[in-house]
Amino acid sequence: MSAGSTVDLVVAVVQTAPGDDPVRNRHTITDLAEEAARRGARVAVFPEYSSFFAAELGPAYLEAAEPTDGPFVRHLGALADRLGLVIVAGLVAVSPDPARFENLLVAVAPGRGVVATYSKQHLYDAFGGQESRWIVPGPLAVAATFELDGLVFGLQTCYDLRFPEVTRTLVDAGTDVVLMPAEWVRGPLKQHHWTTLLTARALENTVYVAAADHAPPVGVGCSTIIDPTGVALASVGDEVDVMALGRVSSDRIASVRRTNPSLALRRYDVVPRRPRGGPSAAAGSDRE
């Protein structure tokens, strides 16, 4: 967080249900980004897999994969410029491996184009799933951040939420607001896991967390914005094509950290872990 005058702006988390029609997905983003801008948002966060989503990982994802200068990102760029809005969304991206794609987040800012990208680090190779079969894991210890009006925003996604080191790496890079697009699949206790872990990441790091999930029946929904004390400022339930908006403030972060200086008191650093065997350790990990 940059020193100086107070920074105070509105963030929107947008809960949608992306599908396998990229054109329709872009139209949905347009309509909801326009609404977010009308309601005063400066940043709008859309879910993981916003460019393309199918129920099963497979060849369809490879066919739908785009480069970061492809139709999806170009569309976000034009939309950001027209609305004066930073847009963050999940892209099924081409990778150097023709048999796998990259699960990428892109942040596009008005007049600046792509200001940050983040490739999902932890792939879900557990409970019968094997994301590493289709997805290339992102590089470790890379903090994807961008700045807006003096606040630093950091990117991570979905299953990364279960690994507190990812968020701590962002905070070590100066992040004030963690943006968390996700496709957090429904299941026993999954909504509880989602809300509990989001709250923990905000509370333990004294930062804001803004998380946008897929709407049910695929995701748990419950897209939310949480403040540095772990309090939910705004959230939605199980509806589709809705949003929650919350105001983030540099003064609020500073005030919380004066009372709870846990970051200053910590005694451990975060370093990448050398794989010790097993598919998850070797490949990363999510389709959470």
Catalytic sites, residue numbers: 48, 120, 158
Helix and strand element counts for the chain (H, E): 8, 13
Tell me how far apart the alpha carbons of residues 121 and 84 are, in angstroms, rounded to a whole number: 30
* Buried b / exposed e along 70-84 (16+ C-beta atoms within 10 A): eebbebbbebbeebe
| Termini Cα distance of the chain | 31
- Tell me which H or E stretch contains 247: strand 242-249
Query: Contact at 8 Å (CB) between 210 and 9?
Result: no
**Both structure tokens of 244:** 């929650």
Element (H, E) at 32: helix 22-38
Amino acid, res. 141: A
**What number of other Cβ atoms are within 10 A of residue 4's Cβ?**
8
The whole-angstrom separation of Cα 88 and Cα 32 is 13
Contact between residue 190 and residue 200 where contact means Cβ atoms under 8 Å apart: no
Neighbour tally for 40: CB within 10 Å: 11
Alpha-carbon gap, residue 262 to 59, rounded angstroms: 46
Q: Kind and range of the H or E element at 279?
A: helix 279-283
